[in-house]
Amino acid sequence: MVGADVVIGEGCILHSHVVLDGYTEIGKQNAFFPFTSIGLKTQDLKWSGGVTRTRIGESNTFRECVTVHSATGDGEVTEVGSNNNILAYSHIAHNVKLHDHVIMSNAATLAGHIEVEDFAVIGGLAAIHQFCRIGKMSIIGGCSKVVQDVLPYMLVDGNPASTRTVNKVGMERHGIPDESQIALKQVYKILFRERLTLGNAMERVESEFPDIQEVRHIIQFLKASRRGISR
């Protein structure tokens, strides 16, 4: 079923029992497998009417029974970027901003107002609390409960989730330079193993690694955090 206000780009594939509805814009070359539901009304009880939108980029895969809900407030948007692989039974709630090249394993769940940066991997059955941010190239272990922000390039796991180490495999796969990988290992130790206050740890990281691009991204991410980080 395709609603009257849905716009679909070229080359998209809709398998059986797909529902696309609401004010939804879909780019090129997306694949929607059976029983996906895209752009329907938010589950948020704060919804009070108006025009809310869902925007999807290009070359995404939505496997069986994936749900992507429209935003809550009038004029607001739920956004999915490009080249994402959303596996069966995963949920993307209202006002989520999903960047590019993200993998959500089976039954991974994003609550409302979450932002997920590029190349993040969310393990199966993981649940992410609303308003959390998932950093670039991070990985979340299966069945984890994430209630605070996940730093870029880190691996978190557990209930509640805590940061266990750097995402070494992910960094190698995506060509992060050796110099940056070595620096990020030291950043991990300073932030998570030396029992410093977060403010003192950030100051030390900034002073010791001022020229490493990936470290600068971590510092910017920390400074923008509203929920704190998964330590």
Q: Is 185 left (phi over 0), alpha (psi -120 to 50) or beta?
A: alpha
pTM: 0.97
Q: What pLDDT is attached to residue 63?
A: 98
End-to-end CA distance of the chain: 44
CATH fold of 172-223: Udp N-acetylglucosamine O-acyltransferase; Domain 2 (1.20.1180)
What sign does the dihedral 124-97-149-146 (CA atoms) show? negative
Q: Which residue shows structure tokens 């020229």?
A: 211
Packing angle between helix 178-192 and helix 198-208, nearest 10 degrees?
Answer: 160
Q: Say whether the peptide bond before residue 160 is cis (omega within 30 degrees of 0).
A: yes
How much of the chain is helix, strand and coil, in % rounded to 5? 20, 30, 50
Q: Where in the chain is the domain with CATH 1.20.1180?
A: 172-223
Q: Residue 150 corresponds to which tokens in the numbers above? A: 């996940």
Do residues 72 and 131 touch, judged by C-beta distance below 8 A?
A: no
For the stretch 139-197, pLDDT in tens is 999 999 999 999 999 999 999 999 999 999 999 999 999 999 999 999 999 999 999 99
For the stretch 16-67, pLDDT in tens is 999 999 999 999 999 999 999 999 999 999 999 999 999 999 999 999 999 9
Give percent of the chain above pLDDT 90: 100
Q: Where in the chain is the domain with CATH 2.160.10.10?
A: 6-116
For the stretch 210-226, pLDDT in tens is 999 999 999 999 999 99
Distance CA 165, CA 141 (A): 12
The phi, psi pair for 63, rounded to 5°, reads -80, -175
pLDDT confidence band for 75 (50 / 70 / 90): very high
Q: Residue 136 corresponds to which tokens in the numbers above? A: 């670039």
CATH fold of 6-116: UDP N-Acetylglucosamine Acyltransferase; domain 1 (2.160.10)
Q: Residue 108 corresponds to which tokens in the numbers above? A: 């991974």
